[in-house]
Amino acid sequence: MGKDTLTIIDNRTGKSYEAPITDGTIRAMDLRQIKVNPDDFGIMSYDPGFKNTASTRSKITFIDGEKGILRYRGYPIEEIAENATYLEAAYLVMYGELPTREQYEQWVYDITHHTLVHENLRTFLDGFRYDAHPMGIFISSVAAMSTFYPEAKNIFDQESVELQTKRLIAKVPTIAAFAYRHSQGLRYSYPDNDLSYVGNFLNMMFKMTELKYKPNPVIERALEILWILHIDHEQNCSTTTMRAIGSAHADPYVAVAGAAAALSGPLHGGANERVLRMLKRIGSVENIPDYLKLVESGQERLMGFGHRVYKNYDPRARIIKNFAHEVFKVTGKNPLLDIAIELEQRALNEEYFIKRKLYPNVDFYSGIIYQAIGIPTSMFTVMFAIPRTVGWLAQWREMLQDPEQKIARPRQIYDGYSERHFVPMDQR
Ligand code: SDX
């Protein structure tokens, strides 16, 4: 094997250049030495959607898209989902190691005791229309929290970073549940510190007139696994947004709100909501061939399918599909599951999907379970944002500690007008 360098010959000048290869990459800045004359800006790379650009180094999540591998801090997602609690997985992603019993108990105590939101935030929530989309409520309420904790702007004060981290992890389920209760015209159900993080969310969502809400253990565990699967996924669109906002040294509340805004897009976290609407629209197994024809002709997208990185089965989708049956033993089977399973089978045998390596992603089956446990479709992306808040914060903290990171400010290829001069209006 030769040297770890790239030799580039610029055929415009006949000059050759050497660029070191490190971890399978070259530094884009090494291209700038390639010029046709001293005044030349030099070569840039052009990469719409960053399909082939590494924006950072990270130790948090590893994905092998070809093999369908996902690991949090080196641990296979399958082992974490099977053995860890949600807050245990969250601790691992945040701090890089599985917690000792003492660390875990302190972590759970700290988060449990930050679940309340300021009563003024409750008033803010009351101001939304009854039919406001819960994701819009979530995004704005998380951003509003930056006004309650101005000390969060001290992003290099580690004590403040720890406090804001715990506050955000603790409060996002409360905000999410309050948004749901608001949309249902129900009084807010406040946190119950006797319950687990996930059990408490179900309490804040579904407690009615009973004195003490008792979560169904099967549903509690199913939701815990779903949330573990959604914690982090390396440099996806919303995490990139979190890092970009954080790179300007904005506080973590507005950065999480911005990341959640990116997640709300139907091509990203908003897909789980669109999958349910798609399955309802297909309506029956008999209608699948016609719908696939619309997809293959480019008139429709098969929501919940395809992925920028996975060119194999998303391991998260496989886990979700496998435990769906456990949930339906308690909730009753969701008829949409049969359509989803048949749709997957048909699609995976169609040339259009095989050629493009399109497989089910995390959003394909998650919504079917959320619906079965009583979560309305409009809440599905909020259900994604709650656990992903942990990943966004872990990535944000890693970025702030990375000496190579600077404010995110890409370049462009300008192909607009060259210089021209102002024309008075009556001469246009
Ligand atoms: C998430 O990045 C992450 O890690 C995200 C995520 C996370 O945990 O953070 O995993 C969560 O966002 C999962 C993805 C949820 N989105 C959807 O399910 C929406 C449907 N999927 C797509 O729109 C699409 O697959 C993307 C957005 C997920 C990926 O898009 P890419 O990588 O930019 O690929 P592309 O749009 O260039 O598609 C390549 C080809 C195109 O066909 P051609 O132009 O080559 O003919 O595949 C086609 C696309 O039209 N294609 C689809 C398709 N996805 C891609 N055709 C039909 N249905 C689809 N779902």
363 is catalytic: yes
307 is catalytic: yes
Q: Which atom of ligand 1 is nearest to the CA of 301?
A: 58
CA dist 395 and 94 (Å) reads 8
Same-domain status, 195 and 149: yes
Distance between Cα 263 and ligand 1 center (Å): 14
Same-domain status, 77 and 103: yes
CA dist 391 and 90 (Å) reads 8
- Alpha-helical segments (H) within 230-299: 237-247, 252-263, 271-282, 288-296
Amino acid, res. 256: V
Q: Which of 246, 230, 229 is nearest to 393 (CA)?
A: 246
Residue 185, domain CATH: 1.10.580.10
pLDDT at 204: 98
Same-domain status, 149 and 37: no
Q: Which of 62, 308, 344, 366 for a ligand 1 pocket mutation test, highest count of atoms within 8 Å of Cβ?
A: 308
Q: What is the dihedral of CA 160, 165, 166, 171, to 10 degrees?
A: 120
Asked if residues 21 and 37 have their Cβ atoms less than 8 Å apart, the reply is no
| pLDDT tens, residue by residue, 282-340 | 999 999 999 999 999 999 999 999 999 999 999 999 999 988 989 999 998 888 999 99
pLDDT at 212: 97
| pLDDT tens, residue by residue, 16-34 | 999 999 999 999 999 999 9
Q: Which of 47, 63, 232, 268 for a ligand 1 pocket mutation test, highest count of atoms within 8 Å of Cβ?
A: 268
Amino acid, res. 272: N
Same-domain status, 73 and 137: yes
Q: Is 6 helix (H, G, I), strand (E, B) or coil?
A: strand
Q: Is 8 helix (H, G, I), strand (E, B) or coil?
A: strand
CA dist 152 and 161 (Å) reads 7
Given a cut of 90, whether residue 418 has pLDDT beyond it is: yes
| pLDDT tens, residue by residue, 324-374 | 989 999 998 888 999 999 999 999 999 999 999 999 999 999 999 999 999
User: 387 to each of 176, 187, 312, 391, how far by Cα in Å?
Assistant: 12, 25, 24, 7
Residue written as token pair 């979700």:
320
Instruction: Pick the catalytic residue from 233, 251, 307, 314.
Output: 307
Asked if residues 356 and 261 have their Cβ atoms less than 8 Å apart, the reply is no
Is residue 146 domain-resident? Answer: yes
Given a cut of 90, whether residue 148 has pLDDT beyond it is: yes
Distance between Cα 276 and ligand 1 center (Å): 17
- Rounded to the nearest 5°, which phi and psi values hold at 64? -115, 105
Instruction: Pick the catalytic residue from 64, 118, 268, 402.
Output: 268
Average pLDDT, rounded, for the chain: 96
Is residue 271 domain-resident? Answer: yes
> What is the phi-psi region of residue 42: left when phi exceeds 0, alpha when psi lies from -120 to 50, beta otherwise?
left
Q: Which of 117, 132, 119 is nearest to 185 (CA)?
A: 132
Q: Which of 290, 299, 272 is nearest to 346 (CA)?
A: 290
Q: Which atom of ligand 1 is nearest to the CA of 230?
A: 8
| pLDDT tens, residue by residue, 186-239 | 999 999 999 999 999 999 999 999 999 999 999 999 999 999 999 999 999 999
Same-domain status, 20 and 111: no
Same-domain status, 35 and 146: no
| pLDDT tens, residue by residue, 155-173 | 999 999 999 999 999 999 9
Which residues does a 6 A CB cutoff place in the pocket of ligand 1?
49, 233, 236-237, 267-269, 271, 295, 301-309, 356, 358, 361-363
Which structural domain range is residue 217 located in? Answer: 57-403
Instruction: Work out how many domains the chain is built from and give that number.
Output: 2
